[in-house]
Amino acid sequence: MKKKNTKSNQSGTIALNKKARHEYFLEDKLEAGISLQGWEVKSIRAGKVNIADSYVIIQNGEAYLLGATIQPLKEASSHVICDPDRSRKLLLNKRELNRLLGAREQKGYSIVATAMYWKKCWVKVEIYLAKGKQNQDKRDTIKDRDWQRQKERLMKHKS
């Protein structure tokens, strides 16, 4: 039996939202499936995804991903009308939805998408319950990160 050669991404990561770690305190992680159309899957395989400004809303007991952009391929989407910025339904079970809704309503959390990746043949979205950072918090995070880097350099040169 031959092993199939994967083309580009060995890790399976499709897109990352690096800005979320800077803008929010990320607390509780969930993995959600995403409902896609055929042209979107082809575009995702080609790497035409941006989730930098994406977030999750909950309406009528269902979660939707907003702000994610999937650019259509010219070859794959000639016969359908493609909306790159459409809201996409997230596939979560009732317990997960209730947990997200409760945290958002009672504690004032935001729900942010941080990564999109392949899990076997399915596209998954990593979402976090997050609290917004103030400017002071962002400066503290940067200061801590720089200090950790500096400590590692000092330890490396000592040994």
Do 17 and 114 form a contact (C-beta atoms < 8 A)?
A: yes
Residue ranges covered by each domain of the chain: 13-133
Exposure string for 16-46, b = 16+ CB within 10 A, e = fewer: bbeebbebbebeeebebebebbebbebbbbe
In this predicted model, what pLDDT tens digit does every residue of 30-86 receive, in sequence order? 999 999 888 888 888 888 898 888 888 998 889 999 988 888 887 765 677 777 888
Domain spanning 13-133 has what CATH number? Answer: 2.40.280.10
Indicate the residue type of 9: N
What is the value of pTM for the model shown? 0.74
9 pLDDT band (50/70/90 cuts)? very low
